[in-house]
Structure 1
């Protein structure tokens, strides 16, 4: 049996210190006597398993506050008044100055020459302007985002301010002159214009739009309330006990609540009066155990906060109940409750504190309540809530409100805590397994088993245990393990893979590893599923209906036993794809833990929201989430967070967005954007401010430029810039979403950019009228011009037809046809039927192509090339070995030949002309080359021969009798000139070629299309 230490009930912080002392003492004894003799060492091993028991009230844990200090930008750690203006900003007065809080940062307001920074008094007037007066007697206000001072030195008497109120254009001040106290009304814009009022007032605030106050000089006899400007008495009460009246002026207030009751807070009295002026209730507070009131704050229309020198209370006006508030009482100054029922607490020396005003609690080591801040796993067993920490530490929270600490001798994290049989615990650390009985005394210690770092375990039956480790999955007999046979594991490795989690689902055992999901077979073998390498952190079985797979980097998957049926990741709103844990809260919601906060997901509505440090979590890295008896337990690396599941709701604060600046760039500089802009004022910029008191920088801004747009665009900054907007009407819409996707009201800015004068309607109308006026004359001349153009077109058409006929005639040259037929006849004579049929086929195809092209004005280059190849084959047959033919087509021409269109019957006459006049009279070594290419996008065809030249050919033609004039080149050139229409994009260039001796050496013809 291990040694048990007697204990006594300790104070909370003392309990933790005592636990630490006892554990250190045991370790010292173990080390001290270990070298002496082995029996003593074995005996003292049990001492290390120590349970330190202490009654520890759980309900006294810290609420989940959010703290703001000077490190966050507060001017001082002592905070006085907290105000909220109509725009949603918080104005905070501190001992070291004034600041404004927008949810992201504190903006400090300073003024050169100010005499004092300690500013305990503040209020907001009906125009939303914050006012302050400091201990040096200076009156300060913020206008146009600048701190200003009301210069009252010239009229200020030798006295301090007792009470002050602003009701534009008047300033009301009660001075504390001991000889003759006085109240004055000043004109803010001319302080020398003032009036002494009939009574000496302590101002309570406006009632029905009129300032009211009670007469300070009669306060011990009568409580008389007046309309200040009219000097009209509206309420009076005789004071029976003059000793009960204390001097507390800065807390005096007036409230009119929804029950149509007037509440007067004056000194240490609260008086409740009905609409007829009858006193309903009169509460005197210093009767509370002789406590002195420090502050009274208006939390809401029914609840007042009262802070004394000893305690803090809530006073409920409707019931008259006075309730003690379990805050750190001696430091609180005031409490301000915003419209979302969150409470902002100003303190002395502790900064500003935000209370979410719910049941959430934070439990951590610093309070002396946990063995460590790092909570890695949470389990509800044997009436305890077990929290596993590092270095073998376990915090055991009992339902009956006390904590035990369990310190195991092993090092590393507590990886799992399982219940075995009825009242036995199985606890796994990184490097060992421990079995504890129902009294939490150790029965077995198995450490150093050489199976790697433990990760998770599953009790398959009363006698079989499966353990996941960094080296794989091992199994053992639990009874052998309980008897101390720790080597049972080493020889029973079933899977060689780094395994992190294991769960039973639909009768089968599933394990998650760093490279995927495995299932255990009947023969103790493991089979990989899904054919997908995923890093699995955790598996969660929900009522055997589905298995959640939590991954590192890929979100979550729903698994039905054979396939993935659904998934969740950052695209669906999760704060991270690194999932550590999941648990079901009810029939509709699950809680998902990630390394960037928790996510509460409604799998019916497919909506969710984030729970993180903004909501009070001590840290965003979630290690485990459990649900028990209506309470959600969230273990983080910085402590434990508890909250009722009914209070898990998204951030209800509707964020705000406003356009702070809107200007256009023009040649005169920056100008404010008006509803109408000139056409050259189309470069616009909009700056805007967003606010949410708790969302920090998690706000997302979206916009639409046109009202008919259906899709919102996301802005990456707090400004939008539009360059080169077209003329038209625009309706810029802005909205902002908080971290839980709650939207602000949509802010709009409507404007219109006018077109230039030459694009306006009136100018177009004028142009139409002018054109209409000229229409008749223009129509006449146009009609005449059309007639002339039609005649010209007919002439051109006739000319083109004539030229095409000439081209056709050139192609149907009888000499060519006769020679081709003679060549075919010679094949037949020589019984060469193959060549005869081959060339007869080519001849027939050529004739058919000539007739087809003669019917078309334009043909593709591909057709022309095919035609030319056919033609050249026949010419080669005609000239035999006298002429060599080269046909070079560039690659880009080949690629575009089907797309490029050219005039029909345009290239062949040029080639025929080269044969007829250049090569016909050359006896041997004739050569003709045809090349086609694109040059700067223009099609170029070059026909070059080494014939006798144009001059000699012309001379030979003149000798021939009955010679026919050649028209091939001339007609082709004329056709191209007509088709070009003066653009100089098409044409024909002829060049005579000469050898080195100046003798004619052929002709080059360049065709441009």
Structure 2
């Protein structure tokens, strides 16, 4: 076995473009997605649908033109705000639209926004006042034809020409590059070279409205009418198209339709949805409200570029995924969660949580629902064919089904499933709620034999080989040996791990008749001889690049179906090689029944898969364009005050330059991928801002703030629901620098820097010169200051010397004063002595003396008196004291004006530090008088008792 490493059905189709042929399946229903008014924010009715080259879809809606890019809806209104009834997109990308009294076209402006240009302005309002509704638009031979009931307006080369209806137009159609119009009087007309030519024998349709015309063959045209059904125009004759499709439309009326790849016809009805038929009129599918449409009145239908079907409804829009290899049986077929399915006796039987349902296998599935098998109304875990009998493993027991009812209840316990016992022909074992039971095939059919004793655990996952019964329960397996009489288990062993490498067991399955045990995608077999599990390297290699599986099942074609992470994949076997197919089944993710992998492969075109909400049908032979790469677009590029819309069929814009003030940018992404939109994911990278691509996400918006100036490249890619990635779509833009970081600003900065350097250099040189000048001045100043300081110090020294001299002189003066005072005091004393001598001489009786003695005494007296009277030393002392202490006496007199001269003398004597006795002798007063004089002086000076009088006088 060899695995072809591919996650797609055929890798070739992912790389090259090929022509795909549409395929409409006649079994089951395709996936249907409804869009309501709340989704697209428009009116109820949708009259026409178109698609541009980029894959964007457009809808002619009651509220205007709707645009859908796969991610978001946009609405564009006509100038007169009327409804849009038709649209047509030409090769140039212009979107022509028509409404009431208005027609024209939308095209993208230089910023990608669709802007409207009115062509109705070309109509002469003086001649034609009312244009009426434009119902159809055609692009043919470089002409754009707008058709109303009264006229057709033909736009070519910027000019408008008009053709008036012979009576009244109904609708118009292009068939094989020919334009046909229905007139209510002339029948169907062909437009050629600006004129109308009637088709023979078409006036028979004048009493009904023609809503569609399609070519069934080169000379055979299908005509669809509103009320009369289907007709064929062939060999100039109109005749009814008596088919199954015609019978349907005659009952439900028709509003036209469309063609799928020239193989199938979609027919819209007023009352009952749509039918899809082949070119023989056989109905292949019927889709209505009961089967998933939100409205039964279909106004228009359209096939997109991937062969999917879009329906414009009377209220809403519907998407029908016809290109998918999957169809579904769900609530409309009256079935719910499916656990197993099997084809038996011409019927398809389905085991569900509500019982077993069946449907005839060879009959059409388009209308009939599944019927309940009588007697199975309960949880049904399995339905399988055992020895040509159809057995149901039901909550009510083991049931035998024949036709549409239970014909026998073999045993009443609840059962999960049954398997044949090797080496015991005619014996079967069933897993029930209490363990296992043995059944035997007898002439009367399958019968219950006995419950196997010794084990009461149950599970739906069990297998048998020649020696053992293997049961997987939770994450362990049990190896059990049946006794020879099949009545008990003779040995039971629980196994929690297969090797020392991995814990737990993931799944138990039989492949090519051999039992395999799987853990972490490694597959093991059991060796009885060595009593160990050994790995099958070949089988394990098949799952090397596959996520860890939790269930595996081999189908009737030897394909290996596996479940992982609530998803499904298959290794398709062909020529002993396996191809891994994952992509188509991604749409089933999350809908598989947990722990119940149900795949019923009847053949390569009919594979049934059980789901939580019904049954899926898969045709593996359908080659589908889902394997082609999707397209990704950066839909809008927004920044403050402006938005650029991309992907509107305009040429890709070049580099976009935005100012620095708008460096907050916002991107929205889109992809015209309409299948399973909830699984469409985007990844982006802004170079050079992002180092790597972002993680895949369904979010289609990305913002960047505060981007620096520079060149950027925004890349986006999309991954559709099948896991296929698109090529990156790129938009380049440049954020201009702020004015202060602009190139010119840097040039200015350079010039300013040069000027600044020049100025600074000059200033530095000037400063250096100035500093040198000031340095010289400063040195001169310092020199002068130093010289002045020296002179001052010399002066102060001289002053100090002079002061010292003065102090010395003062000391000398004071000493002299002291000496003078002492001398004066000696003189005073001398004079006192001399006065005493004089008094003594006066006491002498001179008369008693002789004349000589008398003369001598008298002469001595006179000499003493003369000495006393001529001695002026005291007055000289007073004068000297006053001259020496003149400044002191002056300050004292100024400070104390009331002081007397005698008190000034006292102050001077005290300042000279003379004693009280000396002062008393000089002042010729007693010592008590001196104390009294001191007291009076203190009082006049305002001194208290504690203040020193001499110290105070020295401070004056």
TM-score (ref. length: structure 1): 0.51
Pick closer, same or farther for the CA change 1:483–1:652 going to 2, 3 Å: closer
Tell me what 1:288 maps to: 241
Whether the aligned pair in 1 keeps the contact of 2:144 and 2:156 (CA below 8 Å) is yes
Pick closer, same or farther for the CA change 1:581–1:414 going to 2, 3 Å: farther
**Paired residue for 1:528, among 486, 489, 495?**
495
Whether the aligned pair in 1 keeps the contact of 2:566 and 2:589 (CA below 8 Å) is no
Tell me what 2:436 maps to: 474
1:175-228 deviation digits (Å, cap 9, x = unpaired): 655xxx68586999xxxxx866476698979999xx99679899949956345x
Whether the aligned pair in 1 keeps the contact of 2:254 and 2:269 (CA below 8 Å) is yes
Query: Is 1:459 paired with 2:420?
Result: yes
**Paired residue for 1:393, among 347, 356, 362?**
356
Whether the aligned pair in 1 keeps the contact of 2:560 and 2:571 (CA below 8 Å) is yes
**Paired residue for 1:540, among 509, 528, 531?**
509
Tell me what 1:643 maps to: 618
Query: Is 1:749 paired with 2:711?
Result: no
**Paired residue for 1:599, among 569, 572, 577?**
569
Please give the residue correspondences for 1:302-317 in structure 2 after superposition, counting only pairs within 5 Å: 302=262, 305=265, 307=267
Q: Distance in 2 between matches of 1:161 and 1:632?
A: 50
Tell me what 1:121 maps to: 86
1:413-444 deviation digits (Å, cap 9, x = unpaired): 22234544x33454322352345689976444
Q: Distance in 1 between matches of 2:206 and 2:589?
A: 41
Pick closer, same or farther for the CA change 1:695–1:167 going to 2, 3 Å: same
**Paired residue for 1:66, among 5, 14, 32?**
32
Whether the aligned pair in 1 keeps the contact of 2:188 and 2:203 (CA below 8 Å) is no
Q: Distance in 2 between matches of 1:71 and 1:752?
A: 39
Q: Secondary structure at the match of 2:203?
A: helix
Q: Distance in 2 between matches of 1:377 and 1:620?
A: 13
**Paired residue for 2:674, among 683, 693, 701?**
693
Tell me what 1:492 maps to: 453
Whether the aligned pair in 1 keeps the contact of 2:438 and 2:449 (CA below 8 Å) is no
Query: Is 1:157 paired with 2:132?
Result: no
Pick closer, same or farther for the CA change 1:571–1:103 going to 2, 3 Å: farther
Q: Distance in 2 between matches of 1:187 and 1:313?
A: 41
Tell me what 1:363 maps to: 329
Pick closer, same or farther for the CA change 1:528–1:618 going to 2, 3 Å: closer
Tell me what 2:388 maps to: 423
C-alpha displacement at 1:636, in angstroms? 2.0
Whether the aligned pair in 1 keeps the contact of 2:219 and 2:235 (CA below 8 Å) is no
**Paired residue for 2:201, among 229, 233, 241?**
241
Tell me what 2:585 maps to: 611
C-alpha displacement at 1:354, in angstroms? 1.0
Q: Distance in 2 between matches of 1:463 and 1:526?
A: 27
Whether the aligned pair in 2 keeps the contact of 1:126 and 1:167 (CA below 8 Å) is no
Q: Distance in 2 between matches of 1:740 and 1:469?
A: 39
1:452-489 deviation digits (Å, cap 9, x = unpaired): x6434433234655444566x43546479999997942
Please give the residue correspondences for 1:777-856 in structure 2 after superposition, counting only pairs within 5 Å: none
C-alpha displacement at 1:676, in angstroms? 5.6
Please give the residue correspondences for 1:401-412 in structure 2 after superposition, counting only pairs within 5 Å: 407=373, 409=375, 412=378
Pick closer, same or farther for the CA change 1:254–1:569 going to 2, 3 Å: same
For structure 2, the 5+ residue unaligned runs are 1-24, 226-232, 288-295, 483-489, 527-532, 646-653, 762-956
Whether the aligned pair in 1 keeps the contact of 2:86 and 2:137 (CA below 8 Å) is no
Whether the aligned pair in 2 keeps the contact of 1:457 and 1:465 (CA below 8 Å) is yes
Q: Distance in 2 between matches of 1:464 and 1:266?
A: 64
C-alpha displacement at 1:513, in angstroms? 0.9
1:727-746 deviation digits (Å, cap 9, x = unpaired): 76544322111121222232
Q: Distance in 2 between matches of 1:697 and 1:395?
A: 32
Pick closer, same or farther for the CA change 1:142–1:497 going to 2, 3 Å: farther
**Paired residue for 2:472, among 494, 512, 515?**
512
Tell me what 2:844 maps to: none
C-alpha displacement at 1:628, in angstroms? 1.1
C-alpha displacement at 1:710, in angstroms? 10
Q: Distance in 1 between matches of 2:180 and 2:553?
A: 60
1:130-169 deviation digits (Å, cap 9, x = unpaired): 44445x5555866676797958699352463466659999
**Residue-pair matches, total:** 658
C-alpha displacement at 1:632, in angstroms? 0.3
TM-score (ref. length: structure 2): 0.54
Pick closer, same or farther for the CA change 1:502–1:170 going to 2, 3 Å: closer
Pick closer, same or farther for the CA change 1:108–1:662 going to 2, 3 Å: closer
Tell me what 2:636 maps to: 661
Q: Distance in 1 between matches of 2:149 and 2:453?
A: 89
C-alpha displacement at 1:281, in angstroms? 7.8
Q: Distance in 1 between matches of 2:297 and 2:30?
A: 18
For structure 1, the 5+ residue unaligned runs are 1-58, 189-193, 269-279, 778-1009
Q: Distance in 1 between matches of 2:592 and 2:62?
A: 28
Q: Secondary structure at the match of 2:338?
A: coil
Q: Secondary structure at the match of 2:337?
A: coil
Structure possessing the higher radius of gyration over alpha carbons = 2
Whether the aligned pair in 2 keeps the contact of 1:634 and 1:640 (CA below 8 Å) is yes
1:547-585 deviation digits (Å, cap 9, x = unpaired): 375x9xx8x6644442566779999677xx785664447
Q: Secondary structure at the match of 1:611?
A: helix
C-alpha displacement at 1:662, in angstroms? 3.2
Q: Secondary structure at the match of 1:387?
A: strand
C-alpha displacement at 1:447, in angstroms? 1.9
Q: Secondary structure at the match of 1:697?
A: helix
Whether the aligned pair in 2 keeps the contact of 1:679 and 1:727 (CA below 8 Å) is yes
Tell me what 1:737 maps to: 719
Q: Distance in 1 between matches of 2:504 and 2:238?
A: 66
Q: Secondary structure at the match of 1:66?
A: strand
Q: Distance in 2 between matches of 1:386 and 1:221?
A: 53
Q: CA RMSD in A?
A: 6.2
C-alpha displacement at 1:696, in angstroms? 0.8
Whether the aligned pair in 2 keeps the contact of 1:584 and 1:591 (CA below 8 Å) is yes
C-alpha displacement at 1:627, in angstroms? 0.5
Range 637-646 or range 284-293, more displaced = 284-293
Tell me what 1:713 maps to: 694
C-alpha displacement at 1:541, in angstroms? 1.7
Q: Distance in 2 between matches of 1:633 and 1:68?
A: 25
Whether the aligned pair in 2 keeps the contact of 1:633 and 1:643 (CA below 8 Å) is yes
Whether the aligned pair in 1 keeps the contact of 2:476 and 2:504 (CA below 8 Å) is yes
Q: Distance in 2 between matches of 1:350 and 1:618?
A: 30
C-alpha displacement at 1:543, in angstroms? 0.6
Q: Secondary structure at the match of 1:499?
A: coil
C-alpha displacement at 1:748, in angstroms? 1.4
Tell me what 2:823 maps to: none
1:772-820 deviation digits (Å, cap 9, x = unpaired): x99xx9xxxxxxxxxxxxxxxxxxxxxxxxxxxxxxxxxxxxxxxxxxx
Whether the aligned pair in 1 keeps the contact of 2:549 and 2:564 (CA below 8 Å) is yes
Q: Distance in 1 between matches of 2:708 and 2:496?
A: 57
Q: Distance in 2 between matches of 1:221 and 1:675?
A: 56
Whether the aligned pair in 2 keeps the contact of 1:251 and 1:296 (CA below 8 Å) is yes
Q: Distance in 2 between matches of 1:435 and 1:218?
A: 65
Q: Distance in 2 between matches of 1:182 and 1:479?
A: 79
Tell me what 1:634 maps to: 609
